[in-house]
Amino acid sequence: MTVLLVALGGAVGAPARFLVDGLVAGRARGVFPWGTFVVNASGAFVLGVLTGLGLHHGLGPLPRAALGTGLCGAYTTFSTFSYETVRLMEEGSLTEAALNVAASLIVGLLAGAAGLGPALLG
């Protein structure tokens, strides 16, 4: 049952990533990979919320697996982040590559903490 729920979550997360990335990237200017950045930051926030709900508010293991592993796992993307960072370096956009790494790490951690924060307070 858990595997099926993870697959269902993934079936929602992957198209959501495709749509969000496309919407953001279609409006962005320059070479910075804004679509992937927004997807990963928002996914970190959602995973923080789910973690807080699981740790402090009784969200069970099946919904956590479906939403955390399935949905967030398919929605966020380390591989695309890595590829886009290497592509920026190969194209000579070293500042943007460094900003992508630093901002993704910092904003991802902050987004996860922001998602977790309300559960700690309530």
Per-residue pLDDT of the chain (122 residues; tens, 9 = 90+): 999 999 999 999 999 999 999 999 999 999 999 999 999 999 999 999 999 999 989 999 999 999 999 999 999 999 999 999 999 999 999 999 999 999 999 999 999 999 999 877 76
| C-alpha to C-alpha distance for 112 and 55, rounded to whole angstroms | 14
Tokens representing 38 are 């927004």
Domain range summary for the chain, segments of one domain joined by +: 2-13+33-121
Amino acid at 117: G
Residue 122 has a pLDDT of 64
CB-CB contact of 9 with 70 (8 Å): yes
Residue 17 has a pLDDT of 98
Residue 115 DSSP SS3: helix
Q: What Rg value do the Cα atoms of the chain yield, rounded?
A: 16
pTM: 0.94
